[in-house]
Amino acid sequence: MTKEYTLTVFTEHQTGMLSRVVSIFTRRYINIESLTTSKSSMPGIHRFTIVVNATEDVVRKLCGQLEKQVDVLKAFYDDNDEIVYQEIALYKIPTQKFMQGNRLEKLIRRHNAKVLEIEEEYIVVEKTGHADETEALLEALKEIGIYEFVRSGRVAIPRPMERLSKYLRQLELEAEETL
């Protein structure tokens, strides 16, 4: 059964890793719904957070293929119940819409969004949440008027303790035992 999975891929921080990681999905005709990269909690290690809709079998194979890449340390996958995740969205709204009563202010409060910047021509509003929440605010703002919209990729952290640290410690122990 196809469902949404979040892959977390830990790599060395090397030039070209993004291209190499994405090519594994492209070769298999798997669409990436969201992609975020950042440094991890471990120095020199980069973290890719990738959202796909696929079967668990396909996702398991993707992780295996990713781990075969040089400079990929480990790949994990989780379904949405196993992670804590958020996205951030920014909306640029005409300032004049704020001057037409308090409808827009109530809308922003109802969606737990906040105003980041007020300029003469526009106001920038920020909303963090799941994609359906940021999309709901977008749809509501379209009825009022909106100049621009941008949403980040997913950032996610697994509910279990950081598995990469445990994995690397296990490798160290195995290496010590073979010496």
For residue 135, the model assigns a pLDDT of 97
Q: Residue 170: what pLDDT?
A: 74
List, as one string, the DSSP characters of 88-129: EEEEEEEHHHHTS-SHHHHHHHHTT-EEEEE-SSEEEEEEEE
- Reported as a single tens digit per residue, the pLDDT across 116-139 is 999 999 999 999 999 999 999 999
Predicted confidence at residue 171, as pLDDT, reads 65
Integer Cα distance of 141 and 146 in angstroms: 6
Q: CA 19, CA 27: separation in Å to the nearest integer?
A: 12
pLDDT at 162: 65
For residue 100, the model assigns a pLDDT of: 83
Mean pLDDT across the stretch 78-102? 93
pTM: 0.84
- Give the residue, 77 or 99, on which the prediction is more confident: 77
Tens of pLDDT, residue by residue over 7-31, are 999 999 999 999 999 999 999 999 9
CA–CA separation, 4 and 171 (whole Å): 30
pLDDT at 88 over 70: yes
- Among 147, 144, 155, 143, which Cα is nearest to 50's? 155
The predicted model gives 46-53 an average pLDDT of: 96
> Which position has the higher pLDDT, 176 or 71?
71
Q: What is the pLDDT of residue 42?
A: 84
